[in-house]
Chains A and B, each alone.
Chain A
């Protein structure tokens, strides 16, 4: 059987906005398919990284990687770096996956940037505990901002506009709402992906409910100096403004982060 899409469900980000949760919860559904872990060619079974790392391997490689062994299952690729693909890449994505269901979880760009920098600090410090590392305004911090690509990941409004041009019915979720009520968000996801909730048996529903409640991939809360936080607030300010203008969503996380910072 020839498949319509290489990937049937695409999670495009945002990085640090519960995409691992999304992937875990979705892969517990019997109607979905998760590709095998080809680390380090892929990142675990979640991120195929076709357009950034693996494009040179060609579309057939991608199709084979994502092809489900059981017919009729919906294949998942949740790669947060897809958020900032160029218009041309998204056009190619549409050609490869014309009927894919696309999901984009939006998070306050400031809070997202702080979380992204903490994730990169986990890697740079070889998993140091929270109280052992704090970030000051210096070249290391600035380099980490670059490496974490906070401007690309944070440009949600521009990313959303590009993706909507090809996938006008893309599902947008607000991280803050998802955090508060993951199960409600998850049911939106299922319905968007054409996956059944009612028809599932009790055990499957229980597993899904349990997974939807999991808190996945929290980073140690490394301290950032006031200079770092104000720098990030300024760096993300135009992106936050643009996102609110684009979606009408007012984010609260970032303001809460800045509360009481000298």
Chain B
């Protein structure tokens, strides 16, 4: 079984985000970029499945400028077998990304696409579901456990109400949640080895499509007024009494 794992290059989750004064984007100068943490979890799971002999190969794909090769090399160092860069200088929205990935799936013919439930920059949580729709494949989102059976997979989904176990026929698209696993670190020998693993570039033309969404502006969220530090439980109790007993 071949597994395709889309990986996005995003701002480090621990970086401080500042919106540019002109509202055109966020300040990215001298900000560390990393692989989207949710994608890293998807990749980790794919690699474990290959190590167990369930998957035969793990292919990663990233969409963006040439610099995304860094993210792909990192993925290869973690254990992916091959990498694909889809060069794209725009910042495509989730639907455009899904359309690009649809083309990649047609080219690569994986049986399973595993990806993060959302990217931590756009926070959209849409691409896996949209890709599944475009491919007419079944989907399972927010996965915290996966077991591969012969023609299907059994997955546990994390939902607002609790947990839901689904049996999903292959081929399928699944999106992973935080608690599926803890990703490994890349070792130095593997980082060296990754340099010689195959990384190819693919061109996907979406130029005929019109953009359905236009970003008007980015804004900073309203700043919450700093409150008061109180000196005793009594004082606190008096302050919150109206809400406690309303």
Decide whether A and B assemble into one complex.
no
